[in-house]
C-alpha cells in the first residue's frame, strides 16, 4: 500500500446507474493510480435507478478510501439557478460540488463512471499540470464549427479569440449537415458578451485534474466563478438546445479570471465508453456496455477479494 504522504489527490465521481461500469472505473483507476489517491468521493444521484444496493459491492471494494454522499436533490441537466447557490443543499446537488468544497488535498480528480483505466492517468496529469489550474483534454471540438473550419482545435483555446459576429459567422458557414447546437439562432446576452472562450470549450470532465489551491478560492461559494457542475442556458430555452455542458461555465469564468489549463491527451491511459449520457436512454447500448464491463472485471480482477487486493 502506498504511503499516505504520496496521496495528494482525492477523486470525485458522480454515479447514476451503470453499476458494472462504475466498478470498472474505480477498480482500474485504483489499480493504476492508487498510490496517488486518498479519498474517493462517491456521489450517488438520488433517483430510483440508483438503488443503493446496486453499488454496494463497489463501495465495499473501494474500502476505507470511500466517502459516500447522496444529494437531497436530483439536478439532472437543469440550468443552474444563481439565486439558489447560497443554499448548500442545492449547491451540493451540482455535480462534483460536494467534494470540491470538502477536499483538503492539493488536487481533485474528476472522472466519469463509465471509464476503463489502462494506465496511470493521475501520474500523467500530475506530471503535466505544472502551475496551471487544471489539466486534461480541453474542448468539445467535435461540436464546434471553429474546429471543423480549421480555426481552432483541441487545447488551442488561447489562440482563437473571436468577437461574437465572427463566431456566429462560423456557425452560419458550417455545412448544415454537420450537427451543432442551435444556441446561435437566439443567443442569450451572456453569449453575445462573452464569445471567448468558445461555447464548446471546457476542461472535459470525464477525466481531469484540478489544482485546488488555485481553483477553490476562485470558485463558488468562495469566489466569483460558477460551480464546475453548473449547466447554463445560452440559447432559446424553448428549443432545449441552448444548455451547455458541465464545466463550460466554470471554464469560461476561470479563463476570464486569468487561470490557465493544460491540454493532455488521455487515450494512452483510459478508454471512455461510447454514448455517455445518451446510453441511459438506449436500453440495448446500456445493457451491452454493462455486460462488456462485467467481462473485463471478471478477466482482470476475478473474484472480489482479488479485486480489492489489486486496488489497494
DSSP letters for 223-268: SSBPPTT-BEE-S-TTTT--EEPTTHHHHHHHHHTT--EEE---TT
Which pLDDT score is estimated for 3? 52
Which pLDDT score is estimated for 308? 39
Listed in order, strand segments (DSSP E) in the chain are 9-15, 37-44, 66-69, 107-111, 115-117, 134-138, 203-211, 232-233, 243-244, 261-263, 270-272
Q: How would you write the pLDDT of the chain (312 residues) with one tens digit per residue?
A: 455 668 999 999 999 888 899 999 999 999 999 999 999 999 998 764 555 446 767 777 788 899 999 999 888 788 999 999 999 999 999 999 999 999 999 999 999 999 999 999 999 999 999 999 999 999 999 999 999 999 999 999 999 999 999 999 999 999 999 988 888 888 989 999 999 999 999 999 999 999 999 999 999 999 999 999 999 988 765 655 678 889 999 999 999 999 999 999 999 999 997 666 666 666 788 888 899 999 999 898 874 433 333 343
Q: For residue 177, what are the β-bridge partners?
A: none
98 three-class SS: helix
Rounded CA separation 280/47 (Å): 13
Asked if 58 and 26 count as a contact pair (C-beta separation under 8 A), the reply is yes
Rounded CA separation 266/275 (Å): 18
Asked if 209 and 134 count as a contact pair (C-beta separation under 8 A), the reply is yes
pTM of the model: 0.91
Asked if 269 and 121 count as a contact pair (C-beta separation under 8 A), the reply is yes
Closest CA to 214 of 111, 136, 95, 131: 131
Cell 462560423 belongs to which residue? 170
Q: Are strands 115-117 and 37-44 parallel, antiparallel or unpaired?
A: unpaired
Which residues lie closer than 8 Å to 292 by C-beta, 6 or more apart? none
Length in residues, the chain? 312
| Residue 269 CB neighbours (<10 A) | 21
Query: Please, what are the domains in the chain?
Result: 4-138+202-310 (3.90.550.10), 143-192 (no CATH)
Which pLDDT score is estimated for 47? 65
Neighbour-count burial of 138, counting CB atoms closer than 10 A to its CB (0-12 exposed, 13-18 middle, 19+ buried):
buried
Rounded CA separation 125/268 (Å): 12
Amino acid at each position: 500500500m502506498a504511503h499516505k504522504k504520496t496521496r495528494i489527490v482525492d477523486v470525485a465521481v458522480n454515479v447514476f446507474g451503470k453499476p458494472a461500469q462504475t466498478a470498472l472505473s474505480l477498480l482500474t483507476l485504483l489499480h493504476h493510480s492508487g498510490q496517488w489517491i486518498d479519498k474517493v468521493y462517491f456521489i450517488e444521484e438520488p433517483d430510483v435507478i440508483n438503488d443503493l444496493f446496486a453499488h454496494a459491492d463497489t463501495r465495499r471494494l473501494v474500502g476505507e478510501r470511500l466517502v459516500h454522499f447522496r444529494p437531497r436533490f436530483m439536478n439532472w441537466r437543469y440550468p443552474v439557478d444563481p439565486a439558489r447557490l447560497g443554499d448548500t443543499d442545492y449547491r451540493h446537488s451540482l455535480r462534483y460540488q460536494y467534494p470540491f468544497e470538502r477536499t483538503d488535498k492539493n488536487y481533485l480528480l474528476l472522472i466519469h463512471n463509465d471509464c476503463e483505466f489502462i494506465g496511470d492517468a493521475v501520474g500523467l496529469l500530475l506530471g503535466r499540470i505544472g502551475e496551471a489550474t487544471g489539466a486534461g483534454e480541453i474542448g468539445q471540438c467535435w461540436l464546434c464549427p471553429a474546429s471543423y473550419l480549421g480555426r481552432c482545435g483541441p487545447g488551442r483555446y488561447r489562440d482563437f479569440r473571436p468577437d461574437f459576429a465572427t463566431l456566429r459567422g462560423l456557425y452560419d458557414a458550417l455545412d448544415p449537415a454537420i450537427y451543432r447546437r442551435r444556441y446561435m439562432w437566439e443567443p442569450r446576452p451572456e453569449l453575445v458578451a462573452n464569445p471567448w472562450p468558445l461555447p464548446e470549450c471546457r476542461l472535459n470532465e470525464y477525466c481531469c485534474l484540478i489544482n485546488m489551491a488555485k481553483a477553490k478560492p476562485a470558485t463558488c461559494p468562495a469566489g466569483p466563478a460558477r460551480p464546475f457542475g453548473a449547466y447554463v442556458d445560452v440559447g432559446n430555452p424553448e428549443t432545449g438546445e441552448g444548455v451547455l455542458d458541465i464545466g463550460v461555465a466554470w471554464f469560461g469564468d476561470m479563463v476570464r479570471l486569468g487561470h490557465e489549463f493544460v491540454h493532455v491527451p488521455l487515450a494512452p491511459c483510459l478508454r471512455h465508453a461510447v454514448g455517455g449520457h445518451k446510453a441511459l436512454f438506449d436500453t440495448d447500448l446500456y445493457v451491452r456496455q454493462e455486460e462488456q464491463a462485467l467481462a473485463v472485471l471478471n478477466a482482470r480482477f476475478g473474484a472480489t477479494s482479488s479485486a480489492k487486493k489489486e486496488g489497494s
